[in-house]
Amino acid sequence: MADEESSASTADEADGAPEADGEADTNADADANAPAADADASAADASAADGDAKAPAGAEDAPASRSTSRDAPSAASARNRKLHALSGALALGVFLVEHIATNASALGGRGAYDAIVGAIERSRVLPFVEVVFILLPLGFHAGYGLHLLRAEAAPDAVVERYGDRRLWRLQRLSAVFVLVFVLAHLWELRVQRLVFGLPADALYTTLTARLSSTWAGVPFIALFYVLGLFAVAVHLANGLFAATAAWNVGVSPSGRRRARIATLALGGVLFAVGASTVIALATGTRLLPGADGDSAAVEVPCGSAAPPPFRVSPTPSR
């Protein structure tokens, strides 16, 4: 009986041996895979730690779907954008104010306009000022502006300087129209003078003839100039507002409101003066008394003091 129980126990142990061996093999495989899993986990932890070290402060508050390249421009891009804003604010702004003020002298007639243009032409430093302070900055502003127009999007920090994405789009749209308008204006006057020898005293006559010309009864050139001046005023005012943000001027909410009002006022005044000049040249209206007296009130003496309408000189006999 004891032998039978011993045999049965031995048989049970023999039957359970394969299962024990299988469990041992499984545990052995798990122990073998454990170092690899630990290595993978360590690599993942190191990568996460590296990513946390590289992430900027406050990055955990940003949405995960936004790209870091859209949040802020790179150092080189930020520097070029600041130079672009500076060249536009100084070169374009100062030149535009001076140019519109010079042309506004036409509101006083041809005599006043020719006197201002003649004084500028006699200046010996004019070529140096035009090249260094106008042509080079405006060339950089236009060239880098075309580079920015080719970009599909801008960093969010740049768009926010305008206060609204629609104003950022308006700046890009006005830039295209301003470029076309400036090129047409340069061809109209500057190229004609430098290449084809248009004299300075013929500028007034040329502008008057061009702006007063019509096609099918519509003064398209004058309308193009008015629209061009409007685009220039919008581009300058909107760009100056964004430039103040780029240079950290008036960063408080009240400061931003004052900057917006000031830039809008500047753009509005420039457009009003420029459009009035175009209308005056196109229609012959004189808003100010001119040096040549063409817009001054005519004083007609009455009674015997009135001279005859004309005098006939005696013809010498031969």
Tell me the average pLDDT of the chain: 73
Structural domain boundaries enclosing 224: 76-283
Q: Is residue 276 part of a domain?
A: yes
Q: What is the CATH number of the domain that holds 116?
A: 1.20.1300.10
Residue 14 lies in a domain: no
Q: What residues contact residue 281 under an 8 Å CB cut-off, 6+ apart?
A: 106, 207, 208, 211, 212
In single-letter form, the type of residue at position 205 comes to T
Distance CA 221, CA 210 (A): 7
pLDDT, average across residues 63-91 = 67
Rounded Cα distance between 296 and 311, Å, is: 24
Phi-psi region of 258 (alpha: psi -120 to 50; beta: other; left: phi over 0): alpha
Q: Is 57 inside any structural domain?
A: no
- Identify whether 177 is part of a domain: yes
pTM: 0.65
E strand or H helix that includes residue 120: helix 110-121
Let me know if residue 8 belongs to a domain. Answer: no
Pick from 127, 142, 106, 94: nearest CA to 276: 106
Q: Average the pLDDT over each of 70-84, 172-186, 213-227, 239-253 and give the range with the smallest value.
A: 70-84
State residue 174's pLDDT score: 93
The verdict on residue 318 lying in a domain is: no
Q: What total number of domains does the chain contain?
A: 1
Read off the pLDDT of residues 265-308 as tens digits, 9 standing for 90 and up: 999 999 999 999 999 999 987 665 544 445 443 333 444 444 44
Tell me the residue type at 93.
Answer: G
Q: Is residue 169 part of a domain?
A: yes
Tokens 């006999």 — which residue? Answer: 317
| Torsion from C-alpha of 19, 22, 23, 27, nearest 10 degrees | 170
Please say whether the dihedral angle defined by the alpha carbons of residues 234, 239, 245 and 247, taken in this order, is positive or negative: negative
Cα separations in angstroms, 212 against 40, 54, 166, 271, 282? 80, 64, 35, 19, 4
pLDDT tens sequence across 10-44? 444 444 444 444 444 444 444 444 444 444 444 44
Burial class (CB in 10 A: 0-12, 13-18, 19+), 287: middle
Q: Report the C-alpha gap between 231 and 101 in whole angstroms.
A: 18
138: which residues sit within 8 A by CB, 6+ positions away? 87, 91, 92, 95
